[in-house]
């Protein structure tokens, strides 16, 4: 099989609302089992699942691409309901491969040149490979896409300005408190987005930063890099009575801050406003919290508007990166097809 057997199907921030992405998302620990089931159900020879806060996509290699895509549509609908069908995008062959390269380069992200997506693509590939779900075609595709993503960032200026979701969170905090960053902040989580938020907040002169995580050691390690304090998740929630801004970026499968709990916190704050930035998927903060007096809640959707001015000036660099990535994808397709042609006689003989 060659490039023509590649497929991609999924949803992203471009077409689907946040709620739809929440319903279809799969926890990292459950991905290997899901890959095994999908390969069997969809008739895939190879498969990779990419699940981030902005997208959920399946990449695969199929003997019958159109049949596999039809089965994949049914699988998505079974997870998230029929309303998701209009948000699904599907690609075959060269288009599927080119899309993967654009995703890895951050060209399909709502923050052009987003830095976090490259690591997310790498982890998705590594999880799938460890689960024996990949083979020659997807191995070559993902390895080449990762290399092209790095090249696009190093050879163009698409990472100028805000280039991560964590950076977007810091931009919100800075807009609230000005250049000096006067105010106490607690960041929930210790992953890439949380680390980016802590790093950006520290660079913008926010000096009173606490990092809260279920694993206290991880929180302390991250906080130590910026002179902050690492605390338990429980202590982090207690700090909501004292801080001005809270950034949530945990891998929790359900909200860790509920409306009634926040209502009590706001009562204890005595009328002082609280700004919450929720980067989680599923969301870490119940959406209804936004209706509480004095609460200003920014989720992934509302952050798009905040960073729109930052990405507007990247148009020229984006064109350069698009050209670089398209050339790399075309070269990868030729390599896959050449390798497939060389394997064909051996496979027939076997």
Structural domain spans, the chain? 3-155+315-349, 165-298
Distance separating alpha carbons of residues 278 and 249, to the nearest angstrom = 7
Question: What is the full DSSP assignment across 245-283?
Answer: EEEE----SS-SB-HHHHHHHHHHHTT--EEEEE--SS-
- For residue 252, is pLDDT > 70? yes
Instruction: Say what percent of the chain tops pLDDT 70.
Output: 92
- For residue 350, is pLDDT > 60? no
3-state secondary structure of 28: helix
Residue 243 pLDDT: 92
- The answer to whether 45 touches 88, Cβ cutoff 8 Å, is no
Residue with tokens 């952050």: 303
- The answer to whether 252 touches 284, Cβ cutoff 8 Å, is yes
- The answer to whether 294 touches 269, Cβ cutoff 8 Å, is yes
**pLDDT digit string, tens, across residues 52-68:** 888 999 999 999 999 99
| Least confident range of 107-111, 146-150, 252-256 | 107-111
Distances (CA, A) of 96 to 43, 88, 227: 17, 14, 44
Two domains, one topology: 3-155+315-349 and 165-298: no
Residue 290 pLDDT: 95
- For residue 99, is pLDDT > 50? yes
**Please, which pLDDT band fits residue 204 given cuts at 50, 70 and 90?**
low
- What average pLDDT does the segment 98-114 reach? 91
Residue 217 pLDDT: 93
Strand 208-213 vs strand 229-232: parallel, antiparallel, or unpaired? parallel
Tell me what the pLDDT averaged over the chain comes to.
88
Among residues 350, 345, 341, the alpha carbon closest in space to that of 137 is found at 341
- What average pLDDT does the segment 240-244 reach? 93
3-state secondary structure of 325: helix
Give me the active site residues, please.
Answer: 53
Residue 348 pLDDT: 46
Residue 177 pLDDT: 65
**Please, which pLDDT band fits residue 229 given cuts at 50, 70 and 90?**
very high
Hey, what CATH class is 3-155+315-349 in? alpha beta
Residue 110 pLDDT: 78
Residue 313 pLDDT: 66
- For residue 180, is pLDDT > 70? no
Q: What's the whole-model pTM score?
A: 0.76
- For residue 347, is pLDDT > 70? no
Query: Under CATH, which number does the domain 165-298 receive?
Result: 3.40.50.720
- What average pLDDT does the segment 297-317 reach? 75
Distance separating alpha carbons of residues 236 and 166, to the nearest angstrom = 18
Greater confidence, 262 or 53?
262
Among residues 95, 5, 80, the alpha carbon closest in space to that of 43 is found at 5
- For residue 14, is pLDDT > 90? no
Distance separating alpha carbons of residues 227 and 161, to the nearest angstrom = 24
Q: Beta strands of the chain (E only): which ranges?
A: 6-12, 44-51, 55-62, 89-92, 184-188, 208-213, 229-232, 245-248, 274-278, 295-298
Count other C-beta atoms under 10 Å from residue 102's C-beta: 21
Residue 173 pLDDT: 73
């Amino acid at each position: 099989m060659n490039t023509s057997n590649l497929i991609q199907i999924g949803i992203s921030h471009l077409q689907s609302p946040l709620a739809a992405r929440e319903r279809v998302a799969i926890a990292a620990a459950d991905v290997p089992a899901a890959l095994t089931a999908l390969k069997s159900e969809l008739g895939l020879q190879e498969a990779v699942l990419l699940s981030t806060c902005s997208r959920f996509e399946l990449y695969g290699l199929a003997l019958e691409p159109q049949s596999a895509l039809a089965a994949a549509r049914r699988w998505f609908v079974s997870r998230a309901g029929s309303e998701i069908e209009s948000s699904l995008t599907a690609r075959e062959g060269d288009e599927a491969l080119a899309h993967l390269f654009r995703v890895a380069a951050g060209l399909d992200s709502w923050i052009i040149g987003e830095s976090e997506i490259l690591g997310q693509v790498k982890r998705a590939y590594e999880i799938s490979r460890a689960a024996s779900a990949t083979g020659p075609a997807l191995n070559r595709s993902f390895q080449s896409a990762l290399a092209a993503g790095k090249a696009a960032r190093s050879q163009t200026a698409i990472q100028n300005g805000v280039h991560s979701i964590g950076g977007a969170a810091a931009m919100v905090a800075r807009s609230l408190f000005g250049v000096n960053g006067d105010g106490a902040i607690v960041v929930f989580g210790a992953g890439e987005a949380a680390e980016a938020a802590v790093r950006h907040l520290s660079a913008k002169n926010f000096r009173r930063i606490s990092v809260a995580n279920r694993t206290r050691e991880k929180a302390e390690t991250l906080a130590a890099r910026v002179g902050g304090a690492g605390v338990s998740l429980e202590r982090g929630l207690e700090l909501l009575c004292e801080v001005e801004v809270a950034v949530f970026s945990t891998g929790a499968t359900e909200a860790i801050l509920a409306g009634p709990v926040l209502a009590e916190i706001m009562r204890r704050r005595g009328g002082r406003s609280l700004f919450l930035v929720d980067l989680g998927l599923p969301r870490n903060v119940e959406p209804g919290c936004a209706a509480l007096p004095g609460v200003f809640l920014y989720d992934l959707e509302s952050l798009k508007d905040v960073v729109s001015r930052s990405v507007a000036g990247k148009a020229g660099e984006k064109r350069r990166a698009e050209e670089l990535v398209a050339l790399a994808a075309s070269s990868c397709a030729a390599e896959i097809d050449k390798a497939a042609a060389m394997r064909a006689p051996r496979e027939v003989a076997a």
